[in-house]
Amino acid sequence: MAIVQVVQWDDSINSNDVLAWRYVDRKNPAKSDELGNWTQLIVREAQEAILFKDGQALDLFAAGRHTLSTNNIPMLSRLINLATGGQSAFKASVWFVNKVDVLDIKWGTQNPILLRDPEYQIPIYVRAFGQFGLRVNESRQFVLKLAGNKSSITRSDIETYFKGLILSRMGDMISTYIAHKKINIFEISAYLEDMSNEAVEKIRPEFANYGIEPLNFYFGSVNINDDDEGLKRLKQALSERASMNVIGYNYQQQRSFDVMEAAAKNEGGSSLLGAGVGLGAGMGMGGTFGQMASQMGQYINPQNPPSNPPVNPVNPNPQPQASGSTKICPSCGQPVIDGAKFCMNCGAKLTCPKCGAALIPGAKFCMNCGQQL
């Protein structure tokens, strides 16, 4: 008497969601693992079937119709002695492994990754999302390592099993691109393809341990929450810099203009200096204004106006001399008052903000105290 006549994949099971399934006889579930000699095993395309006995994976069957007998299951014949006549039943279970390509498994960072923007040194919280594809290429290894006491292995099981691995590897990759390769968050989108190609190779050896082959791995986006305070400050700084570039001056020049405007409004400031500020604004607030304001600030003193200098017959129109000692700006070559921290002409920093030592043009660190500039 044949206990089980036909063993095959249940059509009610969605093959797009289930990657492996242990055969269950819907009519008599209690006897699903009682197989008789000459039982017909039907394996469909893109499937493989594995015969298990006592928790041990025995023979592997490819697509087609197979008759379970000692002639084609030699590993089973070494464990049991089938009775003659082919009517004896033996305990064994069958696992079907679905080997179709699964291409739309989603992944994403559950918690944001804290990084520091390499260009602006602002802490930012980064999130990443995407999807990946895989197929089972080693059926025995896949079922033995992932099935356990389960009756099936689904897509959601894969997402759960490998979530920690994927997030760890992808977090390291994002940190590498932003922190080590010095790519700021606004330019990272241009590197998503490179990151995707690198990611699939990073996870390949990890997946191979479970009989899985990764087909692809995509970064859909790497972004920051719009409510992030670091992002807001960064966007504001970039907006201000863009405005300065459109007008035609930089941050140092803007700071110089602010200092000179504040000096013009001081109680002890010169009305003529204030007039110079307005005149400089009308002339495009460029180098002419800086030079003129610097010269006026050196020799005009409303409390003690200088006496008329004697007329030199050789040079009847001599340039006024500064009332105090001066030095030459190393960046633009214009005279500046000794002790000034910024050049009134070009806005260049003249002294170290930490120790006050004189700076060399273009230096990134103070040669006296090592302060980063």
**Tens of pLDDT, residues 326-348:** 777 877 878 877 777 778 788 77
pLDDT value of residue 345 = 81
Asked if residue 308 has pLDDT above 70, the reply is no
88 and 162 share one domain? no
Most confident of 42-51, 81-90, 255-264, 359-368: 42-51
Region 242-252 average pLDDT: 64
Sequence-separated (6 or more) residues with CB below 8 Å from residue 275: none
Beta 335-337 vs 326-328: how paired, if at all? antiparallel
Query: Residue 158: its pLDDT value, please?
Result: 93
- SS3 assignment for 171-239: HHHHHHHHHHCCCCCCCHHHHHHHHHHHHHHHHHHHHHCCCEEEEEEEEEEEEECCCCHHHHHHHHHHH
Same domain? 83 vs 36: yes
Query: Is the predicted pLDDT of residue 131 greater than 70, yes or no?
Result: yes
Strands 39-43 and 6-7: parallel
What range defines the domain where residue 51 resides? 6-98
Tell me the pLDDT tens digit for each residue of 25-41: 888 888 788 777 778 89
Domain boundary among 230, 247, 278: 230
Q: Which residue has the higher pLDDT, 219 or 262?
A: 219
pLDDT band at 75 (very low <50, low <70, confident <90, very high): low
DSSP 170: H
Residues 147 and 220 in one domain: yes
Tell whether the torsion through CA atoms of 271, 276, 279 and 284 is positive or negative.
negative
Per-residue model confidence as pLDDT tens digits over 119-129: 777 788 889 99
User: Is 153's pLDDT higher than 60?
Assistant: yes
Mean confidence (pLDDT) of the chain: 76
Which residue is listed with tokens 């017909």? 40
d(CA 355, CA 372): 12
The phi, psi pair for 40, rounded to 5°, reads -90, 120
Q: Residue 70: what pLDDT? A: 60
Q: Is the same domain home to 224 and 127?
A: yes
Domain's final residue, options 81, 98, 115: 98
Q: Answer whether residue 43 is part of any domain.
A: yes
Give the 3-state secondary structure of residue 117. Answer: coil
- For residues 193-207, average pLDDT: 94
Q: Tell whether the model's pLDDT for residue 72 goes beyond 80.
A: no
Higher-pLDDT residue of 305 and 146 is 146
- 324 in the Ramachandran plot: left (φ > 0), alpha (ψ -120 to 50) or beta? beta
Whether residue 107 sits in one domain with residue 93: no
Pair 87, 106 in one domain: no
In a domain, 305, yes or no: no
Rounded to a whole number of angstroms, the CA Rg of the chain reads: 40
Q: Which helix (H) or strand (E) holds 352?
A: none
Looking at the 3D structure of the chain, how many domains does it have? Answer: 2
Question: Is 276 inside a domain boundary?
Answer: no
Q: Is 121 left (phi over 0), alpha (psi -120 to 50) or beta?
A: left
Top pLDDT among 259 and 197 is at 197
Asked whether residue 244 is assigned to any structural domain, the reply reads: no
Give the range with max mean pLDDT: 29-33, 64-68, 348-352.
64-68
Q: Are residues 178 and 135 in the same domain?
A: yes
Per DSSP, what are the bridge partners of residue 326?
Answer: 337
- pLDDT confidence tier of residue 288, bands split at 50, 70 and 90: very low
Alpha carbon distance 227, 90 (integer Å): 64
User: Which value, to the nearest 10 degrees, does the dihedral of the CA atoms of residues 125, 129, 134, 138 take?
Assistant: 20
**pTM, full prediction:** 0.59
Instruction: Give the span between the Cα atoms of 297 and 368, in whole angstroms.
Output: 30
- 292 or 59: whose pLDDT is higher? 59
Q: Are residues 37 and 106 part of one domain? A: no
**Is 132 a member of any domain?**
yes
Evaluate whether 187 touches 222 at the Cβ level (below 8 Å): no
pLDDT for 246 equals 66
Structure tokens at 300: 């005009």
Least confident range from 26-35, 190-199, 255-264, 310-319: namely 310-319
Task: Compute φ and ψ for 197, nearest 5 degrees.
Answer: -65, -35
The per-residue pLDDT for 23 is 94
Is residue 182 domain-resident?
yes
Range name among 18-22, 245-249, 292-296 with the lowest pLDDT average: 292-296
Q: Three-state SS for 273?
A: helix
The residues that bridge with 83 in the sheet, in sequence order, are none
Do 57 and 140 fall into the same domain?
A: no
| Band of pLDDT at residue 19, cut at 50, 70 and 90 | very high
Q: Which tokens in the block code for residue 119?
A: 């260009």
> How would residue 107 be classed by pLDDT, with cut points 50, 70 and 90?
very high
Q: Which residue has the higher pLDDT, 282 or 130?
A: 130
Domain boundary among 179, 204, 230: 230
Instruction: Tell whether 112 and 205 lie within a shared domain.
Output: yes
Identify the CATH number of the domain in which residue 170 sits.
3.30.479.30
pLDDT beyond 60 at 223: yes
17 lies in some domain: yes
Backbone dihedral angles phi then psi of residue 194, each to the nearest 5 degrees:
-60, -40
pLDDT at 299: 43
Share of residues in the chain with pLDDT > 90 (%): 30
Residue 301 has pLDDT above 50, yes or no: no
Q: How confident is the model at residue 2 (pLDDT cuts 50, 70, 90)?
A: very low
- Top-confidence range, 80-84, 185-189, 346-350: 185-189
Rounded distance between C-alpha atoms, residue 342 and residue 181, angstroms: 34
Enter the tokens of residue 368: 């006296």
**Residue 289 has what pLDDT?**
47
H/E stretch holding 163 reads helix 155-175
pLDDT of 148 strictly over 70 = yes
User: What does the alpha-carbon distance between residue 266 and residue 257 come to, in Å, rounded to a whole number?
Assistant: 14
For residue 179, being part of any structural domain is answered with: yes
User: Does 83 lie in the same domain as 194?
Assistant: no
Q: Among 81, 76, 82, 72, which Cα is nearest to 3's?
A: 82
- Using the structure block, give the residue that is written with the tokens 């003659």: 84
163 and 151, same structural domain? yes
